Structure 1
Amino acid sequence: MTGTEATDTAAAGGDYSTRGSYVSGGQEYTRDTNYIETRITRDGRDGYPVEPGRYRLIAARACPWANRTIIVRRLLGLEDAISLGMPGPTHDSRSWTFDLDPDGKDPVLGIERLQEAFFRRVPGYTRGITVPAVVDIPSGAVVTNNFPQITEDFSTEWTEFHREGAPNLLPAEHLEEMRVVNKRIFTEVNNGVYRCGFAGSQEAYDAAYERLWAAMDWLEDRLSRQRYLIGDTITEADVRLFTTLVRFDAVYHGHFKCNRNKLTEMPALWGYARDLFQTPGFGDTVDFVQIKQHYYIVHEDLNPTQIVPAGPDTSGWLTPHGREALGGRPFGDGTPPGPVRAGEEVAPGHGA
């Protein structure tokens, strides 16, 4: 667990979001997926209607689950409708903090810790103080931290506020296949790297390692024959896989012991990841410095010295990938997003 999603109950001993307590001796890592599931919809059936300017997305660049929401928001052009707050890359035992902002406070919500917004929704909230989270600005309370539903709702409930040329990330003709592919990617890859990293026994690690690499080999084969995961355009499935792949060599290969080989040693996956990275909306959201700081500093039980490695060299992300030969149209009938919104750029020297 990165601290960006709910902690394992066994690892935390019932005390959620505890810094430095990510591994439970002798046990397999099990992710807590109990989130605040309230939705923001056009009809407002949960009490929160779609309304531009009312909500703020809180998403740390370090977190793969939060990174998804930043990418989808940018691809769909929702910057004017939903503002973005970004905590720093590390957190303490209480929650994520806005230490990168002036005076250590989110400039819109006026809070120092994301925990405050959770407590305004549920006083004494005892589960993980996680990102991404969408906050109702007038009340200052979290609406939802259900990360897979957040991006799906960006695509389906906020259509009135999509930019002209926004891609269809959830094409109806591929939804059934996408559900199958997304489930395997989540269980075996997105979460699979955590099962390796937070395994509490050799047996748990070995089993997690085998499952991860079986899925990585499946993806390598699939992507050797097609440019994108599903159909011939970028979909939500590609967003979900990308945020794990872009962290693989920098964090998961060494820190989480997912070290059969590096991403750069898998031709199809490495080409696919570079293709997406070089597509507007993907690589321009990635902060390698914050990613490494988060994992290597927060996971004290895995890295007690908290030393952040200098490598790997990230310049390879900008090398030619040759994936155009497989065909496909990144945005379908749509267009790429424009330049990154002022104030939301990745810091100089933090990208590739």
Structure 2
Amino acid sequence: MEHKFSKEPNYTPAILLLEDGTVYHGKAAGKIGTTTGEICFNTGMTGYQEIFTDPSYFGQLLVTTNAHIGNYGTKTSEVESSSIKIAGLICKNFTIQYSREQADDDIQDYFEKEGLVGISDVDTRAIVRHIRDKGAMNAIISSEILDIAALKKQLAKVPSMDGLELASKVSTTEPYLIGDPAAKHKVAVLDFGTKRNILECMAERGCYLKVFPAKTGLAELQAFNPDGFFFSNGPGDPAAMDYAITTAKEILQQEKPIFGICLGHQLLALALDIPTYKMFNGHRGINHPVKNLLTGHCEITSQNHGFAVDPQAIKANDQVEITHVNLNDETIEGIRVKGKKAFSVQYHPEAAPGPHDARYLFDDFIKMMQ
């Protein structure tokens, strides 16, 4: 590993330009190039590689509030999908030298192999305060174009996340199987950008899973003869996913257990004619307090979403019961459908900030299938 500690940092200048004209100057991190997306921030102190590879971040420029990124390197086994899914990284200290013996690579090599453009040595505290006050917006990072006028022209062409369908772009293209074929329960997974750890949490609880592309219809799902259905997490605007909403409505009529996480939670709501909306900032981090209204317990949760379900519409809908609420802003974090074995949560129960505060949700899904 000695060569890892002799690598020189990159001094190539880079620019971050926000949609409202705000400019930040820093240094290149990762690949030299240009990238665009909607800027957001994550408050997690660890787990940067899991965040980078979470498909729910597709199309997002990520600001990390933790000051040091790269200090424990990267490891092949610590990914949530087949590749980096964030559109770009914005950080304070991009640390190429790492201290973990188990790491496979340094973050610079990792980013270059994955083709990810980033910027470091910027005031991330100022950037986060700006986004917090002004709301989520598009932005551009470049270490090859330093002309602000040219960057503004390129940024103007980037579509808004509002109304953008992205799940089909990160979904599997072919069905695949996970778990023991002799397992007690069979689960049909609609992959809108699922994380590997979610699937593993179900497989280790005695589920045999078949993971289907996002636009799979009910007939193909039923051919697997599943005991339950899972709607995964994923990126983009759920209201733009007419194909998934239609399938979710059809699955609701099958009277089989349904579990949804994150985007899957929003799609279950939309299938019940409960609208979603784009949040001012979204929730992204591993420190969000959520209250389980059924037990009275509070969970420390991992979250990553820029859309949410309409609380007033849920309260007016007699088909649905609210099961979880966010203690920071009272947004809806969980619902269940009255008279059916169907429930969902907005957060990520497979993640471990609590560390296992929310793993019971997988157990609840298994019990429904018994």
Structure that is richer in strand per residue: 2
Greater RCO, 1 or 2 (C-alpha within 8 Å, sep 6+): 1
Structure that is richer in helix per residue: 1
TM-score, normalised relative to structure 2: 0.25
TM-score, normalised relative to structure 1: 0.26
